Chain A
Amino acid sequence: MNDIFEGLAAALGLIVALDPDLIEISARSLQVSLTALVIACALAIPLGTWLAVQRFRHRRTVIAVLNALMGLPPVVVGLIVYILLSRSGPFGVLGLLFTPTAMAIAQVIIITPLIASITHQAMRDLWADYHDLLISLNTTKWQRVRTLIVDGRRNLLTAALAGFGRAIGEVGAIMIVGGNIDHATRVLTTAIALETGKGDFALALGLGFVLIALALLVNIAIHALSRTESEGRW
């Protein structure tokens, strides 16, 4: 129990002193996870919405697979991305292994199914409301997808934040593909794993509290920027 208070004290100490290492790894955490989030959203939101609008033969199977992939184990994703990006692997010539880019790639794979799945669930309900209207207006498939994305943006925000939460708190995959290299690929979660390994629980917990605070700040900032909870159905 004492360790928790020491952790809080360590977190405060690091923040008050504006520890340069802390700022560096926090910035890298944000850089990697936000990059992954934007790419994953660009893929997953149109995909999830399209699945809600479009009817085709194996739609149920595709949705079931997508839902199952939400539970993709990060360690396995990390290992597969490692093998692909390794110098002896198919994409080895790119020299991406042990870079933040590799970490972002792994996180994109982990969070895209999650965001697509939540998007699909939300859009299916919205599509039930909009179905008759959009069909009667003789809209194209792409126009329907766009309308749903614009009018369902509140739900999409939830999907994106869920993805961000999974990305920034993830350690298994980025440890393998990033390598936790000091001043190159060390982020908050891998630093926490490292300090735990050294038995320095206070510092590990301190970094943990910083991570939680960071996630909270990003959530609040995104809500404030998109002015949710302030108008009509929102």
Chain B
Amino acid sequence: MIRHILPLAIAGLVATSAMADTMKLAVTTSFENSGLADVLLPAIKADTDIEVQLLVVGTGQAIRLGEAGDVDAILVHSKAAEQKFVEAGYGTHRREIMYNDFILVGPSSDPAGIAGAEKAAEAMADIAESQAPFVSRGDDSGTHKAELTLWSAAGLKPATFGDWYNAVGAGMGAALNTAAGLNAYIMADRASWLNFGNKADLALLFSGDPILFNQYAFLPVNPEKHPHVRNDLAVQLETWLTSDSAKGLIDGYTINGETLFVFNAKPE
């Protein structure tokens, strides 16, 4: 029996070698969960003939993948980490592409009363004061870092919080599932929230403060560090992502009539 199967197994291994003109792009879960990728990838394939393979991970892991040279470019949203990535020579440069925004979601009864808050930091302080359950991504992702920025803007330290603060260490979708289960407050990006199927009793309670804007940037991996990366394809992809056809698709992408992303790439 094994004599017959073994050649098949070997054929199975060989059949998996890579094709021409495919590049690997590490993106954040919030980008993939928004559904924008399903719109952009076919257009990229049609216009440039590049097949972009997406690795959907948190910003922290995306940067690690870029540092190791396991992907050709990254598309993430955490400015400080991105600048460090470029300064250390792992990326050739950082190009801003678009932004979306973060929102605060919570139980529709709003026990902490954040719906009437003026500023995002004020809303966070209200949650901490009421000690209503709060779910944090806790995974060093861009969204998690943005949440930590908000806590420090409110003058609070998550390390000192009690049982009501749940750091789940998971992606956006999994964290939203946990929040739905606990009927807890959570900070999410708008795109993931609108696309999320298991809302339970949660509702969008606070948004619109400029501190909540979330800038996405494209960073090609430096071919001087990793000669095997397809920098030519990464450059082509960047040209496309900053083109008018990308602008049309990104600005025109809506869920339930709501615009999710705003294109803001500047011409070079």
**Residues of A near any B CB (own CB < 8 A):** 31, 34-35, 38-39, 41-42, 86-89, 92, 95, 97-101, 104, 179-184, 194, 196-201, 226
Contact = CB atoms under 8 A, between A and B. Distances in A.
Contact of A101 (B16, B174, B177): B16
6 contacts: A86-B70, A92-B69, A95-B18, A98-B55, A99-B18, A199-B198
Contacts of B180: 199
Main secondary structure, interface of A, reads loop
Contacts of A89: 68
B143 to A, nearest CB: 13
A104 B8 CA distance: 14
Contact of B196 (A34, A179, A180, A198): A198
Nearest to B35: A198
A41 B55 CA distance: 31
Given A179-B55, A197-B172, A31 B12 contact: yes
A197 B53 contact: no
Interface string B226-251: 10100000000000000000000000
Contacts of B24: 98, 179, 181
A85 B182 CA distance: 39
B68 A88 contact: yes
Count class of interface residues, chain B = 35 or more
Contact of A197 (B29, B55, B67): B29
Interface in B1-35: 1-2, 5-6, 8-9, 12-13, 16-18, 22, 24, 29, 33
Interface string B162-194: 000000000111101100100000000000000
A126 B228 CA distance: 53
Interface of B: 1-2, 5-6, 8-9, 12-13, 16-18, 22, 24, 29, 33, 53-57, 67-70, 171-174, 176-177, 180, 195-199, 226, 228
Contacts of B177: 196-197, 199
A182 B199 CA distance: 26
A42 B53 CA distance: 33
A39 B9 contact: yes
B30 to A, nearest CB: 11
Contact of A201 (B8, B22, B70, B198): B198
Contact of B9 (A34, A97, A98): A34
A201 B1 CA distance: 40
Contacts of B22: 184
B9 A35 contact: yes
A200 B199 CA distance: 10
Given A35-B12, A88-B69, A100-B16, A42 B6 contact: yes
B197 A87 contact: no
Given A87-B228, A198-B173, A201-B197, 11 more contacts: A34-B12, A38-B2, A38-B9, A95-B18, A98-B55, A179-B53, A180-B56, A196-B177, A197-B33, A197-B172, A197-B174
